[in-house]
Chain A
Amino acid sequence: METFIEQLPVVIGALNTGFIQTLKLFSLTLLGAFPLGLIIAFGSLSKIKAISLTTSFIIWIIRGTPLMIQLLIVYYFPGLVLHNPIWGGGESGRFLAATIAFIINYACYFSEIYRGGIQSVPVGQTEAGLVLGMTKRQIFFHVTLLQMIKRIVPPISNEIITLVKDTALARIIALQEIIWAGQAFMKGSHGISGAIWPLFFTAVYYLVFNGIVTVLLAKFERRLNYFR
């Protein structure tokens, strides 16, 4: 028991460091995937067949394969197949590769949610804007967009909460996020080895963070309740 008390601050310190990496991956993924998803959504809604088909094909590949495999491909493909290891061997390279894989993956999921959101706004809204002499651009930004956001908040919230936990997949390319940090104590780290309990502790981090995310998302959803 004494050793546990001694080990605890060491473990917490290591988990904190790992969790910062987790948070960075989480935020950058959202930052990249929100706008990229919109571009992909417009691609899949395009009237030009070549664009919409290509987009649907990409979405099929990304949604049809495990994110874990996508991480491996993004990280190893340039070095092993193209003999051009653009990521380097360090943590920053692994982080960049992981971020790119996550952004592409989540952008595809977001794009499908956006597409549903755009299509669910009644066509009468667009027509009302048109007969008032508004441009398509004005209609999108001043009429359709907020109605679409209101409709997509619940499904997007689901994805965001999943993303918090999905960041653990970056462990597969040895990104030093919180699972990696917890697992290190099994093999030996900071003079502690064979300890599995630090890994259990990581669950608390995810749980607390997702609690905060849930509260913030619910708050945002309520802010859009002023209209129907």
Chain B
Amino acid sequence: MPILEVKNLRKSFGNVEVLKGIDFTLEKGEALSIIGSSGSGKTTLLRCLNFLERPDNGSIIVNGETLLDCSDPSTLSDSQIRKKRLHFGLVFQSFNLFPQYTAIQNVVLAPKLLAKENHTWEKIKYDLYDEAFDIFKEIGLTARKDNYPHQLSGGQQQRVAIARALIMHPDILCFDEPTSALDPELTGEVLKVIRELSVQKTTMIIVTHEMEFARDVANHVIFMDNGVICEQGNPLEVFNNPKEERTKQFLSRYSHK
């Protein structure tokens, strides 16, 4: 059973249909890259998966559980939305760290609030911090964990944002152009962390303009164009031998750079 099934997902903003029926599946431990030009609907797709946008049509199924089915009103109520969201993690293009908290505080804030609500904080707090320290070691920022976001470089901030998403143990971790706000030098350190996650078989969806990275890291690649999946498959096939004219056009623009 695939960990994620997306069926006929549609989303319009006003008269503009941004997603025109998206279908795909994702297996556990797989990394999926989504490529495509700006405005093709990649970001909207991730936002729908994270329940930041409500799709107009279609369904989202995780581990066989239907989280959202637009034809079934019982899945649309807001009451369970929090629990559903936690199946997914999202790393934003603009990091969105909380500026008033240190790096480590950014990472532990959400699980801490959740534990306090469930009255388990006293029980889990040492484990939580231990886990946070481990994650900081993994992302190579142990020495910076007590710095505030404005004291960190963009690449370091994005690594903290990844740590913040990881500590919630999402089934599927989504990246929305995680390096688009970074210069090439800083891009490398963020991609290294994501690459490491793929080695550990973290299930991921990565929206990116880094074509080489998309090809090397992903098990599967989707090329989106104008709200539909234009072509998908094995990365080597899609990149080296694209079938659709539109894909060829898009990829040729990148290889010229």
Interface of A toward B, CB cutoff 8 Å = 122, 124-125, 127-135, 138, 142-143, 146-147, 150, 226-228
Q: Is the CB of A125 within 8 A of B96?
A: yes
Chain B residues within 8 Å of A127, by CB: 52, 92, 96
One of B50, B100, B114 near A227 (C-beta < 8 A)? B100
Mask, B19-42, CB within 8 Å of A = 1, is 000000000000000000000000
Q: Assuming the A-B contacts A134-B113, A138-B113, are A128 and B88 also in contact, with contact meaning beta carbons closer than 8 angstroms in the complex?
A: no
Q: Give residues 64-106 of B contacting A (CB, 8 Å).
A: 82-83, 85-86, 88-90, 92, 94, 96-100
Q: How far is the CA of A216 from the CA of B148 in the complex (A)?
A: 25
Q: How far is the CA of A212 from the CA of B69 in the complex (A)?
A: 61
Q: Does B168 contact A (CB under 8 A)?
A: yes
A–B pairs, 20, beta carbons within 8 Å? A122-B96, A128-B98, A129-B110, A130-B51, A130-B52, A130-B85, A131-B52, A132-B110, A132-B164, A132-B168, A133-B82, A133-B85, A134-B110, A142-B113, A143-B98, A147-B100, A150-B100, A226-B100, A228-B149, A228-B150
Q: Is the CB of A131 within 8 A of B89?
A: yes
Compute the total of residue contacts between A and B using a CB distance below 8 Å.
60
Residue among A127, A131, A134 with max Cβ neighbours from chain B (10 Å):
A131
Chain A residues within 8 Å of B99, by CB: 147, 227-228
Q: How far is the CA of A131 from the CA of B53 in the complex (A)?
A: 12
Q: How far is the CA of A227 from the CA of B94 in the complex (A)?
A: 17
Q: How far is the CA of A228 from the CA of B150 in the complex (A)?
A: 6
Chain B residues within 8 Å of A128, by CB: 92, 96-98
Chain B residues within 8 Å of A122, by CB: 96
Smallest CB–CB gap between B111 and chain A, Å? Answer: 8
Mask, B163-177, CB within 8 Å of A = 1, is 011001000000000
Smallest CB–CB gap between B43 and chain A, Å? Answer: 12
- Which residue of chain A has its CB nearest to the CB of B82? A133
Q: Assuming the A-B contacts A129-B110, A131-B89, A146-B100, are A227 and B148 also in contact, with contact meaning beta carbons closer than 8 angstroms in the complex?
A: yes
- Which residue of chain B has its CB nearest to the CB of A122? B96
Q: Does B199 contact A (CB under 8 A)?
A: no
Q: How far is the CA of A146 from the CA of B99 in the complex (A)?
A: 10
Q: How far is the CA of A227 from the CA of B99 in the complex (A)?
A: 6
Q: How far is the CA of A124 from the CA of B161 in the complex (A)?
A: 13
Q: Does B124 contact A (CB under 8 A)?
A: no
Q: Does B236 contact A (CB under 8 A)?
A: no
Chain A residues within 8 Å of B109, by CB: 132, 134, 142
Chain A residues within 8 Å of B96, by CB: 122, 124-125, 127-128
